[in-house]
Amino acid sequence: MFCFAVIIGGASIAAKSWQLTITLLFGTAIVWYLGYWALSKSRYFISPTAAGFRDAFRAQEVNFGEVRSATRVIRKSSCTLIFKCDTRTVEMPVDLFDEDWFLAVRAELLKRGIAVSTSN
């Protein structure tokens, strides 16, 4: 419904002023770029004792000492790594295009005798 209001309102404004229309389009492009930039700032980290994920909106970290099991859930367009810990469950997104972080986490877990299972 909101999209229709924006389209109808934009068409009404476009009929009155090309400058205003160009300004609105430019503003839309800037907002899109800022959102894309904020979401692309995700960082994965791993150390001998912990692994984690951080982006503009959230941060997740898990210590390998508290992990009891790990499951990799693969969906059509996303992948999540779920850690079952002593007192909590931690879910972290996994980059589908760069699996280096996942392979490093799996290697650290295997050193501790924890195999990563896969689920669809």
Tens-binned pLDDT, residue by residue, of the chain (120 aa): 666 666 666 666 666 777 877 887 888 889 888 888 877 777 888 999 999 988 777 888 999 999 999 999 999 888 999 999 989 999 998 888 888 999 999 999 999 999 999 987
Q: Are residues 48 and 20 in the same domain?
A: no
Count of domains forming the chain: 2
- Asked whether 1 and 9 are in contact (CB, 8 A), the reply is no
Q: Are residues 112 and 62 in the same domain?
A: yes
Q: Are residues 112 and 53 in the same domain?
A: yes
Q: Are residues 49 and 7 in the same domain?
A: no
Check residue 51 and give its pLDDT: 92
Give the Cβ contact number of residue 50 at 10 Å.
Answer: 15
Helix axis angle, 18-39 to 2-16, nearest 10°:
140
Residue 21's domain comprises 2-39
**Residue that is written with structure tokens 């930039």 in the block:** 37
pTM greater than the 0.85 cutoff: no
Check residue 14 and give its pLDDT: 64
Check residue 4 and give its pLDDT: 64
Check residue 5 and give its pLDDT: 67
